[in-house]
Structure 1
Amino acid sequence: MTDYERPLSFGVSLDPSAGAWGRTLRIARMAESSGLDHLAVQDHPYQPGHLDTWTLISHLSATTDRISFLTDVADLQLRPPVMLAKAAASLSVLTDGRLQLGVGGGGIPDAIASMGGPARRGQDMVAFAEESLGILRTALAGGVVQLHSTYHSVDGYRAGPVPPEPVGLWLGAQKPRMLALVGRSADGWISPLNLYVPPHEVPSRQRIIDEAAAEAGRDPRTLRRVYNVTGVIGAPAEGPGLVGDVRRWVDTLAEWAVDLGFDTFVFWPATDPERQLALFADEVVPAVRERVDALRSAR
């Protein structure tokens, strides 16, 4: 049982498909008006039907006022960390701090190579990601970036502008070496979808993060824990991921908060996204907040 007792937050994943643009805009506005915390956008630029993540977020930021954006997750092998920091800092300034930066080492090497990327794998990818996190952190703080290594050559870049609010560096990770990197160097963990990291596999991954954080002299309770959750609320009775009525969703997400340690849930509707978002924001989210508060108070 793991509860880091962090405040809960909730978001929805937006479809970056060019053909779904109108619906994506409606969902973004619905999410903000419903009080959700995050709009999450995946980053697979090698998909010919996908809009570019940064272009999409930048456009949506001009049509919203409060809700935060989350890259879920930006591909470090296709977005050099110095330029990624520049883009993130710029967007944070333009949105008054409405950005969290989810990043990943690059999980589809062949697709990355198809766009001219280096397609790193294994320990090579982990080492590259670790250096990239260091560059991102220095650049986002407005420092001078100077690094010459196997992976990066940055000769005294003076970073800026400085974001008005800290931009969280949340790392997407699934395997042990990347999970340990979360604990050592990131501000939080973004878990892949519950289809790929099912609940019964979460505790072992949380332990890897916590042990690495403790070894690095960090408090594991300071790290965010984000679960990407796909499924269907209500009918139909079948579908991928978490499927069931509102009560089952409330029971399950509350359990995943207090027993698995997640503080942020990003909903990926498996069907009828506008109706599903309404159910999630209006019925599931407030009930989960209330349930978790009650469970924590009882302890």
Structure 2
Amino acid sequence: MFDQAIVFGFGASSALDSQAELLRLTKQADRDGLDLFSVSDHPYFGDRVDAYAAIGFVLGQTQRLAGLVNVTNSPLRHAPILARTVTSLSALSGGRVVLGMGAGGLWDRISAMGVPRLAPGDAVDAFEEAIVLIKKLAGGGPPITHEGRHFRVEHIAPAPVPAPPVWTGSNGRKSLTATGRVADGWIPGHGADWLSKRYRESRPIIDEAAAAAGRDPGSIRTIYNFPGTITDRPLAATRDENGRWIGGSVDQWVEELTGAVGEHGASGFILFSADGGTQDSVSLGRWACEIVPAIRETMPVALA
């Protein structure tokens, strides 16, 4: 999927009034050698474009940049249809899709779209089953029949293209366990990084579940949504009193992220602005052309 062991991307806006900027920034990122862009998935907001429509639009106008919905609101995306969406985008783009998956969080909004509300445990069960079914409906082979608790397909042919990598936004223990069993990557929630309590308490759950399922825990990437400011001069402190990353100069970013990879096993970073939005074009250029190349020079060439 990716030429580099460590994946670098940026978070883009899905607001209807910023789509010219979305295209401009994704084309810039494509030229500058970033690996992916991401958009959020909130179909209940009328002032945002559909996440998968945005992904398809951008993939059609770029050459190497991959698209990630960060993360798919799975209760609002019927799993068999989502399987067709992502395998179609993969076929049309030459494999430039990552499937981000979430169990759904804003249930008042979700149910307002006409989807029956699920209890938290049932929502995670549906999330895990969706991932399993999507993988079954990719990679070719004979037609499949799936009789699950939440989804049913009968004698449906898989698409003749591989399933994209699946990265989850899991938070709770049950969801983290599902990630360990069936996913390919994990995006810690709430902008948590490798020094956070959330990471320290959550990643072992994924690893234990993976090992119990006969999988290599090391094959499951950890990719961070990582907000911060890229400054012209070094900051006296790059983290706040709560230990959260603020940002710093190019050299400070390189030092921090190189340490995250070498000491904590980080395998991807998706850049956001300090307030969680899209970075400006100058900062995105410094990310792609200064920070990322410096980190790549010190990293191994590729992951399987």
TM-score w.r.t. the length of structure 2 is 0.87
Query: Secondary structure of 2:88's partner?
Result: helix
After superposition, the C-alpha distances for 1:241-284 in whole angstroms (9 at most, x for unaligned) are 53222222112212222233220111112375211101111111
Counterpart-to-counterpart distance in 1, 2:201 and 2:134? 28
Q: Which position in structure 2 is the counterpart of 1:183?
A: 180
The AA in structure 2 aligned to 1:251 is E
Counterpart-to-counterpart distance in 1, 2:92 and 2:156? 22
Q: Which position in structure 1 is the counterpart of 2:22?
A: 24
Q: Which position in structure 2 is the counterpart of 1:115?
A: 113
**RMSD of Structure 2 on Structure 1 (CA):** 2.3
Correspondence for 1:242 among 212, 223, 246: 246
Counterpart-to-counterpart distance in 2, 1:198 and 1:111? 32
Q: Which position in structure 2 is the counterpart of 1:258?
A: 262
Q: Which position in structure 2 is the counterpart of 1:154?
A: 153
CA distance 1:7–1:207, shift in 2 (3 Å):
same
The AA in structure 2 aligned to 1:208 is I
The AA in structure 2 aligned to 1:179 is L
Q: Which position in structure 1 is the counterpart of 2:220?
A: 223
Q: How many residues align?
A: 286
Counterpart-to-counterpart distance in 2, 1:119 and 1:234? 44
Counterpart-to-counterpart distance in 1, 2:112 and 2:8? 34
Counterpart-to-counterpart distance in 2, 1:68 and 1:244? 27
1:79 and 2:77 equivalent?
A: yes
Q: Which position in structure 2 is the counterpart of 1:267?
A: 271
After superposition, the C-alpha distances for 1:100-119 in whole angstroms (9 at most, x for unaligned) are 11111112111111111223
Query: Secondary structure of 2:47's partner?
Result: coil
The AA in structure 1 aligned to 2:287 is F
The AA in structure 2 aligned to 1:176 is R
**Structure 2 regions of 5+ residues with no counterpart?**
none
Counterpart-to-counterpart distance in 1, 2:214 and 2:107? 33
Counterpart-to-counterpart distance in 1, 2:289 and 2:88? 33
Correspondence for 1:287 among 291, 294, 302: 294
TM-score w.r.t. the length of structure 1 is 0.88
